[in-house]
A and B are shown apart, each in its own frame.
Chain A
Amino acid sequence: MTGKEKPALILIIDDEESIRDGCSQTLSKWGYQVITASDGDEGIRLAREKVPEMAFVDLKMPGMTGMQVMEILADIPDIVLIVITGYASIISAVEAMKKGAYDYLPKPFIPDQLRAVAQRGIEHRTLKIEAKKLREEKELFQKGFITFVSHEMRSPLVTVLQYIETIKMLAEGSMAPDMLEIIERCSVRLKNLEDLVSHWLDITRIEDGTFSTHKEPVDLKGVIAEAVDDLMPLCEKRGIAVETSVPQDLPTIMGDKDSLLRVLTNVIGNATKYTPSGGSITVKAAYDDYYVTVSIADTGTGIPPDKLPFIFEPFYRVKGKEERYRGSGLGLTFCKMIMDAHNGKIEVSSKEGEGTRFVLKFPR
């Protein structure tokens, strides 16, 4: 004890009056505050009311046993529990320590032993609290850092994109088409960079656990419809037909709706990138006793067999002559991570020149 801090409060629960008095005297002399209880009920009541830093609990008491008392006291924040036990019951002391007691004190004991156990317990508690604080600070920092980067990296991008929008509008009709084309290209490249930042952040969050998929029943029918609706204008613009076939009675699955929507938007979005005008994309859902599956098939350029195993790797690109649209290189990595988080699978099969088919498989 340094004397400057508030003295630690110690609770003694023992049915023997001599032990209670002895402990009180010894510990008070060393600067601790002491409260005592003669049985489990009283001890628990006192502990809840006064929230002591440490409690000594006699294992063998009439009524509630020390072990039961300990289990209940364990929910007092950061409490250090010490069991008092007769020599004959060292085994129960071991049992108690397995259940969360920090130390034990065999009877009979001398004041110095009591003092040593108390001091060690309080030190342990202080260290534990400091470690917890450090860990929380670190987590908070990491979380804050991600959000900070998100904002700091996106802000300038967003502003430049907004300026480009402004130029396009102000220049309407007065700018040469080739210059407008350059501006349009700038804006596409910047948009890619913006997507990259978003995807990178998503993945960082999944990896460090700040992204928690809170799971609830999800109606995949609705998610599919939403994803298709989202991409319909783009498909129409590119002259790609979209066909969906989803059974009305498709069972719900447990998952996170927003991230699943992003998976579907990603995979269907990919299909639009590699499917030529006049081609088609087919989204089908089906189920059996064990799985709900969603397949997304396109009639696009396909992926060469030797590239297929790598497409879920971060920043892997299928470099083909016909690659018209660059992505962030993280889209499919994100999809795979989300599917993993749902205990699901994402599978791909492809034939060059004929098309690619992704299958999302969810356990029922």
Chain B
Amino acid sequence: METKKKVLIIDDDNDFCIATKLILEKDGYEVFIAEDGRAGVEIAKSVSPDLAIVDMMMETWSEGFNVVAKLRGSDATKDIKLIMLSAVDLHGPYDEPSVPPEGAPRVDLVLAKPIKAPELIRYIGNLVGKSA
């Protein structure tokens, strides 16, 4: 039987989760949603996704970084590929929140929202490959 690659979306914007989920499901991924950082870490532990998409700003400006730190800090979740997403303009030197805190663990990719469907699929495909 074909096993689908699993993607976890951690974002407090439910609509964004749904939009992204539909894109990824159409492309053959199994998708899980967590609407806050804590739930994100829990679900990551229980379903062991291949990749997680983490929103930078949730309850707090830097909640995304906390989530990343927790995922990278636990043996069970440290190998999950991570994409960090932010609605903050990442091109300018203007938004302090977009600067990772000193010593923040690395993510595999940082992308700006909104993200074009073909691009998102290509990036995720590059990181984890399609369904195995």
Q: Which A residues fall within an 8 A CB radius of B? A: 147, 150-151, 154-155, 158-159, 161-163, 165-166, 168-170, 198, 201-202, 205, 211, 214, 256, 258-259, 261-262
Contacts and interface: CB of A to CB of B under 8 A. Distances in A.
B89 interface: yes
A155 B16 CA distance: 9
Contacts of A214: 93
Contacts of A154: 87-88
9 pairs of A and B residues whose beta carbons are closest in the complex? A161-B114, A162-B19, A169-B117, A165-B117, A158-B113, A166-B19, A162-B114, A159-B15, A258-B93
Contacts of A165: 19, 23, 114-117
A163 B23 contact: no
A168 B117 CA distance: 8
Contacts of B23: 165-166, 169
Contact of B88 (A150, A159, A163, A169): A150
Report the interface size class on chain B. Answer: 20 to 34
B97 interface: yes
B102 interface: no
B92 A202 contact: yes
Contacts of B22: 166, 169-170
B19, B26, B57, B91: residue with the most chain A Cβ atoms closer than 10 Å: B19
Interface in B78-109: 87-89, 91-97
Contacts of B92: 202, 258-259, 262
A331 B25 CA distance: 38
Nearest to B21: A166
A262 B16 contact: no
A205 B89 CA distance: 14
B89 A158 contact: no
Contacts of B93: 214, 256, 258-259
A205 B93 CA distance: 11
B20 interface: yes
B120 to A, nearest CB: 8
Nearest to A210: B94
13 contacts: A150-B95, A151-B87, A154-B88, A155-B87, A158-B114, A159-B16, A162-B16, A165-B114, A170-B22, A170-B26, A198-B89, A205-B94, A259-B92
B59 interface: no
Contacts of B16: 158-159, 162
Interface string B45-76: 00000000000010001000000000000000
Interface of B: 13, 15-16, 19-20, 22-23, 26, 57, 61, 87-89, 91-97, 113-118
A155 B22 CA distance: 19
Q: DSSP class of A's interface residues: helix, strand, loop or mixed?
A: helix
A154, A162, A261, A262: residue with the most chain B Cβ atoms closer than 10 Å: A162
A192 to B, nearest CB: 14
Given A205-B94, A258-B92, A258-B93, A162 B26 contact: no
Contacts of B118: 169
B95 A147 contact: yes
Contacts of B95: 147, 150
Contacts of A147: 61, 95-97
Contacts of B94: 201-202, 205, 211
A170 B23 CA distance: 7
B90 to A, nearest CB: 10
Contacts of A211: 94
Nearest to A168: B117
B23, B26, B94: residue with the most chain A Cβ atoms closer than 10 Å: B94
A262 B89 CA distance: 12
Contact of A162 (B57, B61, B88, B113): B113
Given A166-B19, A256-B93, A261-B91, 10 more contacts: A150-B88, A150-B95, A158-B87, A159-B114, A162-B15, A163-B19, A170-B22, A205-B94, A214-B93, A259-B92
A155 B13 contact: yes
Given A166-B22, A169-B26, A262 B15 contact: no
Nearest to A197: B89
Given A151-B57, A151-B88, A198-B89, A163 B15 contact: yes
A158, A201, A259, A261: residue with the most chain B Cβ atoms closer than 10 Å: A158
Nearest to B16: A159
A147 B98 CA distance: 11
